[in-house]
Structure 1
């Protein structure tokens, strides 16, 4: 049984899987933090609504709302039908309850969207009718239940047939955008791949209707999965100004760096040049990983955007880990040491610009390779305190004061000061307070400890213990 096609262990394929290319009216990213409730049941998000808001999150990204089967996390990315919501993580009723519960707490809901392909069911049937006859029979046998989960259309009939797909054939050149956008994502062993939808007027209209139905339910943002594999034409047709009005739309264009890196120029740069929407800031992530590496320097984070190694602040979705990294063998080399990951969070939550995304998963034991490392990270004490700093500093301009191999120090006007020391030993820097704006004779209190700093003279020595971040607020 070959289902896990999209998430192959082939590192080259994995490097290129997720992408985004969206056209339409601009929807700027904000400083609000997103909780990526990856693979959480919708009912579990609902139960945690108040706690999510109290932790400081303003948005929650939920896993794909559509018809899918299979308990594996990757099965959520293999749609059987987009006309209803019914999967092991929840149904339409569950999602509606989730949206209402979070709205009550002042938190928006974003939905992960899969439009490029349908589920690979070649292991059990030869046709390309979606949903297949087996699923249609289930609809008929449970008509009252299915009616409650329906977003649009008559579910007594099929949605797509063979005429709605590109011809079968696997991508052979992941460096060629045309090849990537036309052919199928395939695994090994003569796998037939994920059936790739052709952007006919009919297909585009179904996808528009799907997005509008989610928007009507109260969804406020879309993360678009595998958009690199969709043609520019399809994207421009689906994501109309009407669909994206008032929405935060973003996705991932995976690269291993920014300016000067091949995939950045072939895939991410065109997206940046042709849209004004958000994107995962993989260039910044590469800078973060390099800075926190053994021989790396924190000076890489002094002003990475100036060198094309970070996205513009108003378009960036910043992160220290995404769902692909721990769940796929081809990306696991990007997992950071736990201490460095926490320090990196202090950086993305301390800095100005970008929309931080905090990954927290709910994986079954047989799929969790890291013993629950990220299961409750969203609500841990240090994370809540860093988000509190982030929210308090919203709109406060950032000025980098100093950086070297071990340390990075920056301020958020006179209201905040962040110091990060990645090295094992204590490091110090003397701040010239005549050149910067600080309040004297009042305590700047560290959000992450009981330590405080009080400036009483022009030159103030700031010392940061080894492997520590300080996030001071006035």
Structure 2
């Protein structure tokens, strides 16, 4: 049996929990040394639902998960579970996802992998700086089984009230079934029959009695076993079908006090913000299903006005986890545009795709995740909404524009900034200027989005004629001409700081707004070989000829600068995320991560 003392992970878990809390509240952080851009605040975390793969497959992908900027992954239930005839394994993938018909809560040898492989997944995630939230099924056990086959439970540990009819979920003042002795069964008038919702069976899955002290003891042991793996949190499956008091008095205090401050989020599938808030008030996050339904309406070419004030994020963003889709729902037609919304909005988003590579390998998603983690923060101020255009500000941090129409739309909006240049960090818009009263003219492309934020400078912040040492944000090493060579074609790579003239670069402003970057020792120019527009093309020095492959656009991106070649639009990138001396510097399409960001430190 693989186990671990809970105390060994408490300090790390509390630190990460604290950072997440600060980010969710929009608390400003300290910028990295060498940064001259504006302080955009600490940013906010992003989680990924990583389903349909076994434990070893997920483990092998965790370095990429970390590199993209994901803070936590949610994985499927690990316990032994019944497989229904509809389950399939195709190319190693499970669809529908496994684990939701538990048989033995304390046996973690499952179709997803062995307990040892689960432990390896969690340990690897922690080395990569990624938290792990484990799906936790405490509402029910597997359907179609003899009760004697459940090691922890027997007949008397379950409710036997039959299924849950659809009418029980929604209050209807004209339906007599919603009343008892003339009074509503639900005093809040949200559900017609809350007791039936909590004690009935979902799809014939036998419903556990959380009111039983014996059952609660077994559920405690289950949560403890998950905590002993070193996991960082729980996702409570079917939380709406369990009573609120169970979470308030038991599950959440166990997680917080007994198991080292484990994160928790509940599945409360409802259109009611009030019901979602009630479960959040028991001491956990909840998935923002009320917002999901508004997203579904807006981003199926619907009316964007439904987004303003929608969802739990509008009243308790610190407890809300927005989603665009998950394994139980469908995504809207305007898939990326919907994600542009949730990755600019308040709350702690949980991303999902049936195929994780559609998120982890996509440049647009990488950019949106970077924006959420680096620029998002502060309260939400809606600046404009109409049928096709929504513009909101994360106060003093980020201005988000979303257009679900078929034509480009421009709109004057009020902002929190006066007399400043705002840069678009989505890569689709041109810089805009705010006037003395904070008004800006925002243009959003058809079916697209913009992310505007101040650069912290009147222009780029790079001084014409100044000399800089240029440090990579990921490795901390400096842009360096190999071997102090003065020859054409000498390689440019990264190297530890030594202060030599082959690490000093003079920035000369050119008439088209770009810069020539000249190493002090040779007088040559930073140059893209070829000149090629391909990803991975080497960067070297060459005598100045004025071509676009020697002209560099230097753009503040909040934490450092993006340095992109005028001829290709691609940016300086440390190949393979190397942190070694001699790590190659080439050009690559922009996706916003730290191996593409550079600090200009004036000499």
Q: TM-score, normalised by structure 2?
A: 0.57
Tell me if 1:130 matches 2:108: no
Name 1:382's counterpart in structure 2. Answer: 364
8 Å CA contact 1:282, 1:310 repeated in 2: no
SS at structure 1 position matched to 2:148: coil
Structure 1 distance, partners of 2:194, 2:47, is 30
CA deviation profile, 1:56-98 (whole Å, cap 9, x unmatched): 1101000111112434435410011011212221221111111
Instruction: Say which of 429, 433, 440 aligns to 1:455.
Output: 433
Show the counterpart of 1:184. 201
Structure 1: stretches of 5+ with no match in the other structure: 1-26, 132-157, 187-192, 259-263, 327-334, 363-373
Q: Distance in 1 between matches of 2:161 and 2:422?
A: 66
The 10-residue stretch of structure 1 (276-285 or 389-398) with the greater mean CA deviation from structure 2: 389-398
- Following TM superposition, by how much is the alpha carbon of 1:403 offset from its aligned partner in structure 2, in angstroms? 2.0
Q: CA deviation at 1:417?
A: 2.6
C-alpha contact 2:401 2:450 (8 A) present in aligned 1: yes
Q: Is 2:326 the counterpart of 1:322?
A: yes
In the alignment, which residue of structure 2 is the partner of 1:336?
Answer: 332
Map 1:259-338; keep pairs closer than 5 Å. 267-268=275-276, 270-272=278-280, 274-296=281-303, 298-304=304-310, 310-326=314-330, 335-337=331-333
Higher relative contact order (CA 8 A, sep 6+): 1
Q: Give 1:472 deviation, angstroms.
A: 3.0
**C-alpha distance 445-113 of structure 1, shift in aligned 2 (>3 A):** same
The Cα shift of 1:383 comes to 0.8
What does residue 86 of structure 1 align with?
109
Residue 263 of structure 2 is matched in structure 1 by 248
**Are residues 286 and 471 of structure 1, via their aligned partners in 2, closer, same or farther at CA, if it must alter by over 3 Å?**
same
Q: Matched residue of 1:218: which SS? A: coil
Alignment partner for residue 405 of structure 2, among 419, 423, 447? 423
2:417 to 414, 427, 437: 437
Cα distance in 2 between the residues matched to 1:171 and 1:454: 55
Q: For the residues of structure 2 that align with 1:240 and 1:269, how far apart are their CA atoms? A: 15
Distance 1:319 1:423 in 2: 22
1:177 to partner: Cα distance: 1.4
Any idea what SS the aligned residue of 2:126 has?
helix
Q: 1:190 matched to which residue of 2?
A: none
Equivalent residue number for residue 357 of structure 1: 350
1:444/1:201 CA distance change after superposition, 3 Å: same
Aligned residues: 375
Equivalent residue for 1:137?
none
Task: Give 3-state SS (helix, strand or coil) of 2:222's partner.
Answer: helix
RMSD over equivalenced CA pairs, Å: 2.7
Answer whether contact 2:377 2:398 (CA < 8 A) is retained. Answer: no
C-alpha displacement of 1:407: 1.2
In the alignment, what sits opposite 2:208? 197
TM-score by length of 1: 0.72
Q: Which residue is 2:572 aligned to?
A: none
Which structure is higher in helix share?
1
